[in-house]
Amino acid sequence: MALPLLMFPSVIITSVSSLLIPEFSSFYAKKEIKQINRISYRLLKITFIFAICVFGIFFTFPDELCSLMYEDTSVVYFLKILSPLIILMYIDTIVDGMLKGLNEQVSVMKCNILDLFISTSLLYVLLPILGIEGYIIVLYISEILNTVISVIQLVKISKVRIKFFIWTFFPIMGIMLSRYVIKFINIDVNSNIFSLIIEILLFVIIYLGFLSFASIITKKDFKI
């Protein structure tokens, strides 16, 4: 019940990832490494910012989202504990799209096979012992392994620089600021769904405003 909610915004990332394949294939065929590097840098930066924003939304409004979608708050715990996976999942998706465009389909397949083998083995061991907690642990191990391997492959091919600290520290600060403002204002309107929409929009505006003020995102970043 938690995973479908977490993966719903990934439709944007998945669509972009599919569009990247022919674009990167064209650059790769022409040996335009600088162009590949430039676009990879911007896409990774935007993906980090988008993924952390989505994580912040799910972490800030788990009760409201679960009540709205399922009329049940028992999913809240799992939504909170699984929400950090969003960052890894979205980055892995966009990186896989770039790798496929760079003629690394076999490498992506090998990584997925390795991930599947390790995940299945760990599930066989941990699930009977830890139950659902074991499954969550396996999910984290699987996503970390898959994402790290994929990113290393991309860096090796495109020579892109990943500013991990800047792309995570400032967005997380933006989330904390947005959470504080939302809780302080405590919007209350007649309809729960409208209240939630207003709060999420305000959350995103504050988040993007902070990143823009800190010069983390600029208009140039969206000119792929």
pLDDT in tens, the chain (224 residues): 777 788 787 788 778 777 777 777 887 788 777 888 888 888 888 889 999 999 999 888 888 888 777 777 778 888 888 888 889 988 988 888 888 888 888 888 888 888 888 888 888 888 888 888 888 898 899 889 989 988 888 888 888 888 888 889 999 999 999 888 888 777 654 457 787 888 889 999 999 999 998 888 877 766 65
- pTM for the structure as a whole: 0.86
Give the length of the chain. Answer: 224
pLDDT confidence of residue 190? 47
Token pair listed for 80: 């909170």
pLDDT confidence of residue 173? 93
